Amino acid sequence: MSEESWHEARLIPTSGINGAEEQERRATSALLAVLGAVKEFGRGFVKPFGAPAGSMECYIEVPFVLGERRLYPDGLIKVSRGSRSWTALVEVKTGPNQLKTDQIESYLDIAREQGFDAVITISNEIPPVPGQHPTAVDKRKLRKVALHHVSWSRILADAVMQKEFRGVADPDQAWILGELIRYLEHRKSGALEFDDMGESWVSVRDAVRAGTLRPTDKGIVEVVARFDALLRFASLQLGRQLGTEVIPALSRKELADPAVRVQTLSTSLCQTGVLSGAIRIPDTVGDIVITADLRASQVTCHVDVDAPREGRPTTRVNWLVRQLKAAPDAVRVESFVVRGRGSAAAELLSAVREDPRSLVQEADREIRTFRVATSSSLGTKRGRGRGAFIDSVLTAVDDFYADVLGSLRAWSATPPKLRPSDPDAKGVDPEVPTSLSSTDYSSQDEPTHYTSGPAPSPDAGDAHTHLESVSAAEGE
Confidence of residue 130 (pLDDT cuts 50, 70, 90): confident
Q: Which of 84-88, 236-240, 423-427, 463-467 has the highest mean pLDDT?
A: 84-88
Kindly report which listed range (55-64, 276-285, 312-321, 337-346) carries the lowest average pLDDT score: 337-346
Least confident among 207-211, 229-233, 329-333, 461-465? 461-465
Say whether pLDDT at 19 is over 70: yes
Could you tell me the CA-to-CA distances from 399 to 104, 327, 333 in Å, in that order?
Answer: 40, 10, 16
pLDDT band at 254 (very low <50, low <70, confident <90, very high): confident
Give the whole-angstrom CA distance, residue 370 versus residue 334. 6
- Which pLDDT does position 430 carry in this prediction? 54
Q: What is the pLDDT of residue 422?
A: 62
- CB-based contact 238:247 (threshold 8 Å): no
pLDDT given at position 473: 44
* pLDDT above 90: residue 142: yes
427: burial class by Cβ within 10 Å (0-12, 13-18, 19+)?
Answer: exposed
What does the pLDDT look like over 367-379, one tens digit per residue? 999 999 999 999 9
Q: Which residue did the predictor score with more confidence, 311 or 461?
A: 311
Long-range contacts (CB closer than 8 Å, 24 or more residues apart) made by 292-298: 292/227, 292/378, 292/389, 292/393, 293/378, 294/205, 294/208, 294/209, 294/269, 294/378, 295/208, 295/209, 296/378, 297/377, 297/378, 297/380, 298/375, 298/376, 298/377, 298/378
Please give the average per-residue pLDDT across 398-422, as a whole number: 88
Q: What is the pLDDT of residues 208-219, one digit of tens each?
A: 999 999 988 889
Looking at the predicted structure, is the pLDDT value of residue 437 above 50? no
**CB-based contacts of 385: which residues, under 8 Å, 6+ apart?**
391
- For all residues of the chain together, what is the average pLDDT? 86
- The reported pLDDT for the residue numbered 433 is 53
User: How would residue 117 be classed by pLDDT, with cut points 50, 70 and 90?
Assistant: very high
The pTM of this model reads: 0.77
Report residue 423's pLDDT band, with 50, 70 and 90 as the boundaries: low
User: Which whole number is the average pLDDT over 408-434?
Assistant: 70
pLDDT in tens, 21-61: 889 999 999 999 999 999 999 999 999 999 999 999 999 99
Give just the sign of the alpha carbon dihedral 274, 279, 285, 286: positive
User: Residue 466 — pLDDT band, cuts 50, 70, 90?
Assistant: very low
